Every structure is written in C-alpha cells, then in structure tokens.
Amino acid sequence: MNTAPPLVYGSLRHRLVLLLVSGLLLIWLLAAALTALKTRHEVDELLDAHLVQSASLLLSRASEDSDETDIEHAPVLNRYAYKLAFQIWEGEQLRLHSVNAPAQALGTQSQGFATSTVNGQSWRTFTAASQDRHYRVRVGEAQSARTDLARDLFLQLLSPLLLALPLLALLVWFAVARALRPLAELSESIAGQHAGNLHAVTLPVPAELAPLVGRLNTLLEQVASSFENERRFTSDAAHELRTPLAAVHTQLQVAQGAVTPEERSRAIAMALAAGERATRLVQQLLTLARLDHDTSQQQATAVPLRELVTTAFELIAEEAAARDIALAFETDNETGTVITGHRDLLLILLRNLLDNAVRYSPAHTTVTTVLQKTAGRSVLIVKDEGPGIAPESREAALQRFRRLDESGRQGSGLGLSIVERIASLHGASVSLQTGDGGRGLRVEIRFPS
C-alpha cells in the first residue's frame, strides 16, 4: 500500500524568518523616515536660534560708526560659514554686509523670520530692528546649507542602523532555528516509531506543542492497542482453526483406512462436523473483521426492533426445530419500538444471541425474546433454559475465544464477543444474568434513549 506524501507548502522556518525580517525592515524604514524628519526639524530649530542670536549681536553693534561698506576678508571658520550671510541697513542704505551676502536686501520683512529667494538662491532669514527703527539687521542662511547639514547628520545616525539590520536578520534566523528545534526533535522521535514498537513521546516540549503531543500519544496508544489486538486475534484464530482442521484431516485418514462402510460413514460424518465448525469459525471471524468497516460505511437508520426479531426467528427456526426447541416472543405495549442504528449489524447481534441460546439449551425447552421499554430506554432480552454462566465467569464470556462450556458442543467462543462489540458500536450495554427461576442465561441489551 502506497502512502500519499504530505502536502508541503514551504518551510515554516523560512516563512517565519521572512515575516520577521520583513517586519523589522518595515519598522526600520519607518524609523528612518521619522529620524529624517526629526533631524531636519531639530536642525531648523537650532539654526533659527543661531540666526536670532547672530542678529541680536550685530544689532547691538550697529550704532557704532563704520566706514566700511562690506567685509571682504572675513575668515571662513567652517564649511558651512560661506552660506551664512548678514546685512546691516541704516535706513535704506546698506552699511555693512558679509562677503557672500548679495547687494540687494535678503528679505522684505521688517521683523522676524522669512524665506526668500535672491538671485535664484533660497534663504532662511531673520530680521531685527533697533528701537528707533534706524538700524535693521538681516541675517540669512542658504537653505541648501541646512539641507546638507540635515543630510549629514541623518547619515551619521543611520550608519549604525544600517550595520544593525543584517545583524538583526541573523539574530532572527538563529532565534527561529532555536525556537523550532523542538519540532525537529519531535520529528526524530516520531521517525523512530515502528509498528513493532510504538511508544509514547516523552521528550520535553514547549507548551504550544503539548496538546499536539498529547493527542499524538493517544493515537499511538490506540494504534498500539489495535496492533496488539490484531496480533492476539490472529494468534487465537490460528489456534482455534487448527483444531477443526486437524480433526477433518484425522477423520479423512480414518475414512481412507476404514474396513467397513459403517466406520467410513462415521469418519466422514465426523469430518463434516469438524468442517462445519471450521466454516462457522471462519464466518464469525469475518464478521468481527468487518464490524468497524461496516459501521464506518453504513449510515445509521431507524430500525424497528419487532421486525428485526421476526427476521432473526426466520433465520434460526430450522436449527431450533432440529433441536426441538421452541422460540417465543414477548413485548409490552411498545410494539412499535424503533432505535437508530445499523440494521445488518443488529441482526447479527440478535442472530448470535439466539444461536447461542438454541445451541446450549436442552431439548423440549423454550428460547424467549423479550422487547420492552424501561426508563425510556429500549431493552432487548434473550433468555434460555440452558446451563447458564456462573457470575464469576460472565466477564470472561464476553471476550474472544473464551469457551466456558466443556460439554463438547461446537462453538467458537466468538458469539458473545460479537454481541458485545456490536452493542458497543451502538452505545448499548450488555448484561449477563441468571434466567427465570434461577435457571439458564438471560442476556439483556439496553440501548441508549
């Protein structure tokens, strides 16, 4: 039998790593964007404060006489200084300006911050005026300088993050591999199982895997029990079949060497009886083998018990008549009792009960089938006047191949075990009791309400 391969849709480890790294990358990009915005904002705030401070210092010295009209040789102290300019105006006359300041005004506002464009270059300016409005100082900074500074600061902040991203990816890979190691160990433990030695998985597992391992252990226990039952069943069946087959072989040898026709006829009759027993045993074994299969394949339907009893009587009537045993049926007012179940299996159950009762009852007695309602539950009873079963042996009587009768009657020891199995499949209970008047066996099947 070929086992279908499992449906594989990708590696769980790869999926986890991809999701986690993708999430980290998205968060990293968002953080980088927020960092860029925050850096530019802080740079603007800082440089605006610097413009205000510079304008205040220049304004305090604006009233000093100066014949210079510009500062041609002011030192450049850093790489951004050449983009910082100032103008000092006395009325409408430019009295002083930095070397990189344009000749026209950096702005038109009379006070405060403004953004203006002069000669195609964008400036961020701050204007401060003296109290008498005689002097006005304009300090400006090229917007490109601010952009360059913000970019440089952002790249400096981003460099460690760029280095950290692949390290985080490696850490995620290691963490996922470490976290999934119990799955690999569980797989190895399961791979070590085989039909001859199924055992529970006992290795420590995370809490998330505990329900899975618990159900797996339950399944392994059920499979191991099933295998054990099958082995025991096969062994018992082989043992039980060996006896009638050996008897057939022996009697045929006797018939072959018989001197008189009477000896030959008797040996052939005994061989036929042994063959009949082997046939019956095989039929019972086949019945047991198909119980679970039939139950899974058939749909439960409404089964009228009265009709079922009538059908079973027709099947057993010839054998009962041959043994001079009467069949009786009793029922209370619930003549239309109907249960939900599998008709064929229920017929096998009743047929086995009646067969056992007829087989072990003495001649000139009656086997009675009773159908009644008790506490809302349907009850099926078959009782006979045979030897019965001792209370201490009744549990064993429901087990396979347990024949308690030593009188030499033909039997397989499977009849009551089949009854118990079919009843269990229907949620019913089987009870073995002493028959009426302390004689015989009373088998009571109680179906669920």
Asked if 29 and 162 touch (Cβ cutoff 8 Å), the reply is: no
Q: In which residue are the tokens 């099933």 written? A: 226
Query: Which has more confidence, 28 or 9?
Result: 28
Q: Which of 104-108, 314-318, 321-325 has the lowest mean pLDDT?
A: 104-108
The amino acid present at 193, given as its one-letter code, is Q
pLDDT tier, 383 (very low <50, low <70, confident <90, very high otherwise) = very high
DSSP track, 237-291: HHHHHHHHHHHHHHHHHHHHH-SSHHHHHHHHHHHHHHHHHHHHHHHHHHHHHHH
Residue 326 has pLDDT above 90, yes or no: yes
pLDDT in the model for residue 409: 45
pLDDT in the model for residue 324: 92
CA 136 – CA 130 distance, rounded (Å): 6
Query: Which has more confidence, 1 or 287?
Result: 287
Most confidently modeled range among 69-83, 90-104, 277-291? 90-104
pLDDT in the model for residue 72: 40
Per residue in 119-171, pLDDT (tens digit) is 888 888 888 888 888 888 889 888 888 888 888 888 888 888 788 888 888 88
Asked if 101 and 19 touch (Cβ cutoff 8 Å), the reply is: no
CA 188 – CA 19 distance, rounded (Å): 27
pLDDT in the model for residue 328: 92
pLDDT in the model for residue 68: 47
- Reduce the DSSP state of residue 73 to 3 states and report it: coil
pLDDT in the model for residue 335: 54
CA 258 – CA 252 distance, rounded (Å): 10
Per residue in 276-290, pLDDT (tens digit) is 767 766 776 666 666
Residue 424 has pLDDT above 80, yes or no: yes
Q: Cβ neighbours of residue 320 under 8 Å, at least 6 residues apart? A: 326, 327, 354, 358, 367
pLDDT tier, 382 (very low <50, low <70, confident <90, very high otherwise) = very high
CA 423 – CA 402 distance, rounded (Å): 18
Q: Cβ neighbours of residue 38 under 8 Å, at least 6 residues apart? A: none
Percent of the chain with pLDDT over 70: 80
pLDDT in the model for residue 333: 62
DSSP state of 100: T
pLDDT tier, 366 (very low <50, low <70, confident <90, very high otherwise) = very high
pLDDT in the model for residue 253: 86
pLDDT in the model for residue 161: 77
Instruction: Look at residues 281, 329, 273 and name the one whose alpha carbon lies nearest to residue 306.
Output: 329
Q: If you average pLDDT over every residue of the chain, what do you get?
A: 78
Residue 300 has pLDDT above 80, yes or no: no
- Record the pTM: 0.47
**Structural domains of the chain, with CATH:** 14-71+79-172 (3.30.450), 196-296 (1.10.287), 298-446 (3.30.565.10)
Pull the structure tokens for residue 68: 């210079």
3-state helix, strand, coil in the chain (%, to 5): 55, 20, 30
Per residue in 230-288, pLDDT (tens digit) is 776 666 566 556 667 777 888 888 888 888 888 888 888 888 877 876 776 677 666 66
DSSP state of 197: B
Q: Which of 48-57, 69-78, 173-182, 414-423 has the lowest mean pLDDT?
A: 69-78
Asked if 254 and 280 touch (Cβ cutoff 8 Å), the reply is: no
